[in-house]
Chains A and B, each alone.
Chain A
């Protein structure tokens, strides 16, 4: 069996005295498209920050590509949940996409022609070529989300982490983001954090539920007990694969 891309063992994270993650185990293999669902405050974003090496563990280990996360940042692309920024910030769409090249450039160097080409290709992939010279402040929520995905693609990642990319976009845009991810999963391993329990199961290869502890569904199936254990409120359960059907044991 090949080495896992991401391997987290007994990870516990304490922030401000409370356990945000408690003994979490996770294994992600090359080519996986893992969906992580769970309630707000369940530690989903924290888990991504652990994989990015931004969050220190109280105990446990995390290995990405077999190494500590801070050593492999170049191979990991990150799409944050929602970018909090000043809408009047003077920056163009292309300049934001170019930030994805930061990882590949040394201090003091400037972006080159090939950096610009890679940025323009990524903008084309997410359908924003037309807006490349525009000011970022004028983008809609969906366009901004696609720009953040483009910026992550510009870093040419082998592993792509997305934090609720569809949280603040309209349904039509949501479909187009999932279509985009369906294309990207041919080329890279993807970990997606989301609330969209309904939609994701049609796209991902595995689902994990996270509420401080983690339940993983290797087959891509979720059962009601698990979900009810995670969510304090009723949840739609959808089973993967075509044709769609409901779980028997409802």
Chain B
């Protein structure tokens, strides 16, 4: 088994999985407790426009992804907070418009778009060293922001009105949280692809919530679970030669169903705990 470590692409894949798990566990916990999984899916999908832009400009698509996903996060957040548009409507609009822009840019790009499939569905086995550095940098930014604003984000997630009474700029904090989600999406695209990113943002944290009493504990456990899912999925992909994005998501989904499956078979305890 250890022989897989001889390959550089495998060492890169493991490093990417571990680095991605950190952002995934921390930000995923906010996604789950604040119930913004659908927004996260919208940000991820609309970010496809950024990948198309990357191809069109002939730069690393991940670099195109960063400004695009940040714009999508700010757009969805502002539109639903300020413009009196129902949140799911503005999410749906950005979701589809972003994907359409991506298709448009790729259509305008002459020739074939290499690796397009791996951005859509993830391929952790092709992460180059340069992307690892990018992921590391984003990780550091996300962890530092959450460390500095932990009590503010906790108040925002638990009781937004009280956070406002306490003088916090709640709209600004919320937009910042959406931007952190956007950056996490950028990190996770290599692992699961923009189509399946939302599973990694929700599943580990949702399982972790059942076994923890504090948000910080939830983040820690979610990080560990995310690492287990990505490394486990990677291993399955290695053994059976199936696409790694799919094996990671299916492993996570299977564990999720196993943990929550008790409710189906007469456990009944789930109703109170969600």
Contacts and interface: CB of A to CB of B under 8 A. Distances in A.
A90 B209 contact: yes
B77 to A, nearest CB: 19
Contacts of B87: none
Determine which residue in A88, A96, A103, A105 has the highest number of CB atoms from chain B within 10 A of its CB, and name it.
Answer: A88
Interface residues of B, number: 31
B214 A86 contact: no
Interface in B122-158: 148-152, 154-155, 157-158
A93 to B, nearest CB: 10
Contact of A88 (B148, B155, B274): B274
A86 B159 contact: no
A73 B218 CA distance: 32
Interface stretch (B41-49, B162-170, B185-193): B162-170
Interface in A181-215: none
A110 to B, nearest CB: 7
Given A80-B162, A102-B155, A105-B151, A88 B273 contact: yes
Interface in B46-82: none
Contacts of B167: 73-74, 102-103
Given A83-B159, A88-B209, A90-B209, A54 B214 contact: no
Interface in A132-166: 135, 137, 151, 155
A112 to B, nearest CB: 11
A98 B162 CA distance: 12
B214 A87 contact: no
Contacts of A32: none
A92 B35 contact: no
A52 interface: yes
B33 interface: yes
A52 B162 CA distance: 11
A108 B155 contact: no
B96 interface: no
Given A78-B165, A99-B159, A111 B33 contact: no
Contacts of A99: 151, 154-155, 158-159, 162-163, 166
Nearest to A94: B214
Nearest to A109: B151
A107 B159 contact: no
B75 to A, nearest CB: 25
Interface in B151-208: 151-152, 154-155, 157-159, 161-168
Contact of A110 (B33, B151, B163): B151
A94 to B, nearest CB: 10
B111 interface: no
A85 B158 contact: yes
A54 B158 contact: no
B266 interface: no
Contacts of B168: 102
Contacts of A54: 161, 164-165
A73 B166 CA distance: 7
Contacts of B212: 90
A90 B213 contact: yes
B37 interface: no
B161 A80 contact: yes
Contacts of A135: 213
Contact of B274 (A87, A95, A111): A87
A68 to B, nearest CB: 13
25 contacts: A52-B165, A54-B161, A54-B164, A73-B166, A78-B162, A85-B159, A86-B35, A87-B272, A88-B209, A88-B210, A88-B273, A90-B217, A91-B214, A92-B214, A96-B158, A99-B151, A99-B154, A102-B152, A102-B155, A102-B163, A102-B167, A107-B149, A108-B148, A110-B151, A111-B151
Closest 10 pairs between A and B when the two form their complex, measured CB to CB: A102-B166, A88-B274, A108-B148, A90-B218, A135-B213, A88-B273, A103-B166, A90-B212, A78-B165, A99-B155
Interface of B: 33, 35, 148-152, 154-155, 157-159, 161-168, 209-210, 212-215, 217-218, 272-274
